[in-house]
A and B are shown apart, each in its own frame.
Chain A
Amino acid sequence: MSANHFDIIEKLSAYLDGELTTVEMAEVKNHLASCADCMVIYERLKSLDQIADDAMPVIGDEVLDQLEQRITKEIAGLPESSSESKPKPHKASVTPIWQKYTAIAASLLIITLAGRMALKESDHALDPKLKAPSMNIKDQGATITDDADELSQPAEKKLDNRQSIREESGPAISKPIMEEEETKAIESLESDKLSQGNKELPLGKPKSISVMGDVGKEDAVDEVRGSSNKPKPEQSGSGATVEVRDSRKGMDFNATGTVSTKTQKLNQSAPVASVDDILSKEAGILAEDSNSSESALHIRGGRSGEMTYLFDGVNDSNSLDGNSPVDKVETETANILTIDSLNRIYAGLFELSISDVARDIPDRYGIQSLSVDLGKKGAQKKSSSVSRPDFVIDSLSNLDDLNDEDNLERYYLIQKLYVDHYKKMGADNYRTVYKSARTQSLEILMRLMSGGDYHENLNDYLLEIEKFPQELK
């Protein structure tokens, strides 16, 4: 038996698939010629492949005909798939966020202008009309056009997010009315954008909002600029113009895109490239106040206020109610959005990187049942304090949580991250969490052992933790 016998065994699978380098292929081939044990394993692998081939679903022509008819029939009922007449999203697919924000921003600008019109007309900031801007909108009117020639001259002000718009719009806008008008405006604006035609809203005095850019195409859109946030007096009555210009490269929106594709893109463009980067630069690990009812260990980034998420430069929180629109999307879609399309600069990366770690854990540490959906469970348990159940890695606040095997392993993973990370970070950072980590770990171990249960990986980890002080001194 050669010295690299065990290495060869591990290569047999890839050898079977022809996925080794030329040198490795030759190496394995030579070894097989002289090692009966490896040849037995190799033959079994081949047999397994043969059984798998035999078990391949056999798809008959009848099934394919039926499937084709179903697809054809459904597509026949859809608008043509072209930039000139883009169909409405199917089922869980969603309107690109930039479109929503563009439209929402535009609608808010309408309301802003209407509010200012009302201000001017009433000459009183607290005029009840301002609390019901929809009345003013109906009375005032606006024109939506994509005619670039109609762009206005007033000083432009970039709208960073809807909060800024809201601040401009004055106080006490009635929320239900606001939402209703947003919806109407979104529908109207999207309709206009998609048809690329001019359309006048059934409103009175003309104001114009220009929507520029090749809306709907991959390389279009995203920046929302509003001019005349503060309309000049001479404009407010007869034609203050708001420009909504598409100038920044938009996200590559794919309604049903995949995690892997977007992950790579995200990783390539992101300021962090690894879990360690995230932990050190952004996410951090917090040792909670011991008097707090919160957990003693916490990976930062899971709660509102700790991080800001931007969707192509737009804050994701709804300035009207503080909630994220994403939270209102159904679960399946939210997952897609989170990973694929919203470009949460850190949050998505954080989730994906942690998920990668989670996926690798079974290979690296022999744990078999660690869920890729790391943290969801815990987050749901703590729904009152967690706002991002789709990516949060929550920590364990009490030992009861460890009754769940998934939680135990999740805890193990988090602890392992601590170990790996703080080993690199040095004593100062290490001391921040070491005490609580160690204490909690020992409590867990004692509990497990006293209960007749035992988790060898956790114990291995704890032994590793015990070495910390010596390593760091």
Chain B
Amino acid sequence: MVTAAGRGDKNAFGQLVRMHQKRVLRMVVSITGDLDSGMDIVQDSFVRAYQALDSFDRGKPFYPWVSKIAYNLAINHIKRRRREVGLDEVREPEASRSENPLDKMQETENKQRLWKAIGELPENFRMVFILRNMEQLSYEEIAERLGISLGTVDSRLYRARRKLLESLKDLLD
């Protein structure tokens, strides 16, 4: 399918979009904290992927590639947002419009507390936690994504979880 898409078959690429957009969007929204910017980023990611198909190694799976593009764009987005408005936290996904399927994300206090606690994590810890728990990447995949060692992934994830346990202590007891 990737090969067909690489030959310019837009239908084939459309299938790739359908196959992977949900997972990519979920990961991006986990990072950006809002659906609108998440959709923009995912759209941009797939378009960039389409444009760069020539340079894509067809022997490799498509999802890690496009998700890396999306991940980088998401990180750039939150960095830019932080510079612009001084935000330094992962926002809980925005209050959804009535038909917005993300409504359910904010229904419980647990979730709100979790997002607040995640937002208070140092960025390095936060990213590892999100990649593990939200995107469910393996340690090896996280290490590759972030360019860090497996030991560092383990350490950061452990510390991130310990911090979250402290923040959510009353909730978890």
Contact = CB atoms under 8 A, between A and B. Distances in A.
Interface of A: 10, 12-14, 17, 19, 41, 44-45, 47-49, 51-64, 66-68, 70-72, 74-76, 78, 80-87, 89-91, 93, 216-218, 252-261, 263-264, 332, 335-336, 352, 356, 359-360, 362-363, 368-369, 372
7 A-B pairs closest in CB distance: A60-B101, A80-B8, A260-B147, A13-B158, A82-B8, A52-B133, A263-B147
Given A44-B165, A67-B42, A81-B6, A255 B52 contact: yes
B7 interface: yes
Contacts of B35: 57, 63
A329 B58 CA distance: 30
A216 B54 contact: yes
B154 to A, nearest CB: 5
Given A17-B139, A356-B147, A368-B122, A259 B72 contact: yes
Contact-size category for B: 35 or more
Contacts of B95: none
B30 A48 contact: no
A137 B48 CA distance: 37
A71 B147 contact: no
Contacts of A13: 154, 157-158, 161-162
Contacts of A258: 68-69, 71-72, 145
A363 B51 contact: no
Contact of A74 (B43, B52, B171): B43
B91 interface: no
Contact of A51 (B14, B72, B76, B110): B110
Contact of A362 (B30, B122, B138, B147): B122
A316 B22 CA distance: 41
Given A67-B39, A68-B18, A90-B48, A57 B105 contact: yes
Contact of B39 (A10, A47, A70): A70
A19 B14 CA distance: 35
B50 A75 contact: yes
Given A55-B115, A57-B105, A261-B68, A19 B138 contact: yes
B139 A58 contact: no
8 contacts: A13-B161, A47-B172, A60-B101, A60-B102, A78-B51, A85-B8, A256-B72, A264-B147
A253 B6 CA distance: 16
Contacts, number: 217
Contacts of B29: 57, 59
Contact of B10 (A76, A254, A372): A76
Contacts of B110: 51, 54-55
A332 B7 CA distance: 29
Contacts of A52: 114, 129, 133-134
Given A51-B114, A75-B13, A217-B54, 14 more contacts: A10-B158, A13-B158, A59-B102, A60-B101, A61-B101, A64-B22, A67-B25, A67-B43, A80-B8, A80-B10, A359-B146, A362-B122, A362-B125, A363-B152
- Main SS of the interface on chain B? helix
A332 B26 CA distance: 23
Nearest to A361: B124
A85 B173 CA distance: 60
B84 interface: no
Contacts of B52: 93, 254-256
Contacts of B146: 259-260, 359
B81 interface: no
A60 B8 CA distance: 29
A67 B29 CA distance: 13
Interface string B86-110: 0000000100000111101100101
A254 B158 CA distance: 33
Interface string B3-17: 001111010011001
A70 B45 CA distance: 12
A332 B76 contact: yes
Nearest to A61: B101
A195 to B, nearest CB: 15
B165 A45 contact: yes
Given A14-B154, A75-B47, A83-B54, A63 B39 contact: yes
A8 B172 CA distance: 21
A45 B56 CA distance: 39
A68 B14 contact: yes
A363 B146 CA distance: 15
Centre residue among A13, A45, A257, A352 by max chain B CB count within 10 A: A13
A362 B160 CA distance: 12
